[in-house]
Amino acid sequence: MSDSGAVTTGGGQPGAAKGQAQIPAPPKKVKLLVDGIEVEADSRDNLIEAARRIGVAIPYFCYHPRLSIAGQCRMCLVETSDAPGRLVPGCQVRVKEGLKVTTNSPAVKDNQRGCMEFHLINHPVDCAICDQSGECKLQDYYMEYDHQPSRIRVQKLNKPKREIFGPMVVYDAERCIMCTRCVRFMDEIAKEPQLAVVERGSHSLIATFPGQPLDSKYSGNTVDICPVGALLNRDFRFQSRVWFVNKSPAICAGCANGCNVYAESRGNVIYRLLPRRNEEVNQVWMCDEGRLTYHATNDKRVEWARTGKGDSAASVGPRIAVDRVVELLKPLAGQGGIGVAVSAQCTNEEATAAFQLGAHLGATHYFMGGQRAGDSDDFLIRADKNPNTAGVRLAAEAFGVKLHDIQAVDQVKALVAMRTDGLLPDRLGHLEVFVAISQNEDAASSEAHVTLPCKSVYEQDGSLINWYGRLQRTWESVPAQRADAAPGWSWADGILKGLGASGLESAAAAFRALAEKSPHLSGLSFDDLPEDGIVLEGLLPSEWPARAPRPAPGAHSVRGPQTTPPGTKVGDEASGGSR
């Protein structure tokens, strides 16, 4: 409707209905009064966003900044000077110059209390068994705006519970408050309209077409945006209560997109991955496959450093294992016939350490392995199922080595493998010395003469470069130590020191070693990397999938952090930030 390119359909961001993220041009400013305080708002803001700018929280269930407006829950009703004596929905009404908004008048408070009461009339008494406890909007808003006892004296309505919608999602109709966020998400963002509202009145349900599952690759996001425990993640269901787990930022290790995530963990186990906001990588979404990548951190790990293989394998301490590696490699150093294998799953620091070790050993061949390629789409899923292919290639270029395919290991007699993804066990039998720094027990790690347990990407500080050249930091997201596991660069550091060379004391040191060699990283320091990553201009591709989030055009060699909108609780970005 507007010809200035401003948004024509709902959502707080332009083009949100089309599912595209565009960092908009500097917007027009509008001044209005919210609760007597002057706010300078964007002209495209609705009242909720305008109030959020000054920290005034207007509650909402069905509104989501990235979806179209439903106006269904009536929780965000506020008073405005344009409509005296009436309440208007804060999600639908645009800001206007000079508008006076009141969010704390008795009428508004009564509406909030009444809305909560209505929403809770048929809500089952499920808190004790519902996964959403601790992150449930009904609970939060009830304590904030209602906190009155129930007034109903009749039976609650019974509806289908624990309906399996799809491979990732299970639906409980009794808990559903019919906000339709999931329906709108599937329509507008996932672009696969697999959900719809059926039945009428208080018997309404969300349903898929009969016989069709909710099998979109982005179905897991409906669980994030569901404000109550109606849609739940089948993988996480009943695994842990949310207040037991610690949230820490990381990067998904599922594919080259490098979606920013929160890893929720307790002890040395990760329970869940949630998307983290990064407008230029994944907005606030992630794909289902990425959500499952944490299992590799929990299951079938190489735990203890061991020497020997098969029946003669013995768990020795890390120091003894490293000594054995040095003992095996020292006579072969510089003689030729040593190969170093890296994986596209390595962080930049691990790859750097591997190449530095290879340089010291005089390795003749370098191999790159990784997970096999898979399918891709036009949004977040990339065919390359390794998070750091670009990073390993950049490191290889920096060290001046050529990377061969991992299948060609029969060209060397001794192999040091920094992560064993892609190594086929039947090609390893000829190796005289095989040192594997590996994360999971696979066929290859059982062939190694010395196996050193490697920390996963979620358990170490490191940096990764995604498919379009964005250098992103990941943090140690698991607070407890798992057996002997250490980051790959730390093992390489021990081996280098044993061989008499200087090692790499920390991830920052490894990054510095790489930055010194690579022109793309010149001037960057590990500790000062911005939280949301830096685009390495030299690596930008020319082709972009249709809906993939992309960095804004223009100079962006160093960008400041994209702050979460004021008033959004950290960690709550995917769910729409209504608290």
Partner 1 sequence: MSQALIDLVREKFPEAVVSSHSHRGDDVVTVKRENLVEVIDFLRNDPQTDLKLLRQIAGVDLLTYRSEMSGGAALASIEVPAYDVQNKPKVEPRYQVAYNLYSITRHHSLRVRVELRSDDLKVPSITSLYRTADWWERYVYDMFGFEFTGHPNLTRLLMYPEFVGFPLRKDYPVRKRQPLVPELDFPDLVRGPGPGPGGAGVPMSQTHVGRENVDPSTYD
Partner 2 sequence: MTEPDRRAEGATIASPGFSGTEALQDQDPLSLEAEIPTTPMTVNLGPSHPAMHGTVRLTVTLDGETIVEAIPEIGFLHRGFSKSSENSTWHQVLPYTDRLNYVSPILNNTGYIMGVEKLIGLKPTERAEYLRVLGGEISRICDHLTCVGAIGLELGAFTVFLYAMEARELLWDRISELCGARVTVSWTRIGGVATDTPPGWEQRVRDCLPRVMELTNEIDTLLTRNRIFIDRTRNVGVISGDEAIDWGFTGPCLRACGVNYDVRKAHPYSVYDRMDFEIPLGSRGDTYDRYVLRIEEIRQSHRIVLQCLEQMPPGPIIIDDWRYALPPKKDVFGSIEGVMAHFKLIMEGIPVPAGEVYVYTEGANGELGFHIVSNGKGKPYAIQVRGPGLPILSALPRLIKGHAVADLIPIFDSINMIGGEVEQ
Which helix (H) or strand (E) element contains residue 517?
A: helix 507-517
Q: Cα torsion for 451, 457, 458, 462, to the nearest 10°?
A: 120
Q: How far is residue 96's CA from residue 79's CA, in Å, rounded to a whole number?
A: 14
Stretch that binds partner 1, among 49-57, 98-106, 383-391, 474-482 (CB under 8 A): 474-482
**Is 148 a binder of partner 2 (CB under 8 A)?**
yes
> How many other CB atoms are found less than 10 A from the CB of residue 426?
7
Out of 479, 519, 538, 541, the residue judged to bind partner 1 by CB under 8 A = 479
Out of 61, 142, 218, 304, the residue judged to bind partner 2 by CB under 8 A = 142
> In 362-416, which residue ranges form alpha helices assigned H by DSSP?
389-399
Site for partner 2 in 107-126 (CB under 8 A): 120, 123-126
Burial 304-341 (b: 16+ CB within 10 A, else e): bbbbebeeebeebebeebbbbbbebbeebbeeebbbbb
Q: How far is residue 469's CA from residue 507's CA, in Å, rounded to a whole number?
A: 20
Nearer to partner 2, 144 or 410 (CB): 144
**Is 147 a binder of partner 2 (CB under 8 A)?**
yes
Nearer to partner 1, 165 or 294 (CB): 294
**Is 279 a binder of partner 1 (CB under 8 A)?**
no
Q: How far is residue 405's CA from residue 367's CA, in Å, rounded to a whole number?
A: 5
Which residues make Cβ contacts (< 8 Å) with residue 131, sequence separation at least 6?
229, 232, 233, 236, 237, 238, 242
Least CB distance from residue 264 to partner 2, whole Å? 16
**Is 9 a binder of partner 2 (CB under 8 A)?**
no
Stretch that binds partner 1, among 245-253, 313-321, 360-368, 493-501 (CB under 8 A): 245-253
**Is 140 a binder of partner 1 (CB under 8 A)?**
no
**Is 362 a binder of partner 1 (CB under 8 A)?**
no
Q: How far is residue 264's CA from residue 478's CA, in Å, rounded to a whole number?
A: 8
Q: How far is residue 487's CA from residue 353's CA, in Å, rounded to a whole number?
A: 10
Out of 17, 87, 101, 245, the residue judged to bind partner 1 by CB under 8 A = 245
**Is 531 a binder of partner 1 (CB under 8 A)?**
yes
Nearer to partner 1, 272 or 449 (CB): 272
- # residues contacting partner 2 (CB under 8 A): 20
Q: How far is residue 494's CA from residue 513's CA, in Å, rounded to a whole number?
A: 16
Least CB distance from residue 145 to partner 2, whole Å? 11
Q: How far is residue 473's CA from residue 463's CA, in Å, rounded to a whole number?
A: 4
Nearer to partner 1, 122 or 248 (CB): 248
Q: Which does 481 bind (CB under 5 to 8 A by kind): partner 2, partner 1, none?
A: none
**Is 243 a binder of partner 1 (CB under 8 A)?**
yes
Least CB distance from residue 267 to partner 2, whole Å? 17
Query: What are the structure tokens assigned to 538, written together?
Result: 């030299």
Contact residues: partner 1, CB under 8 A: 134, 243-249, 266-267, 475-477, 479-480, 531, 569-571
Binding site for partner 2 (CB under 8 A): 120, 123-128, 133-134, 138-140, 142-143, 146-150, 243
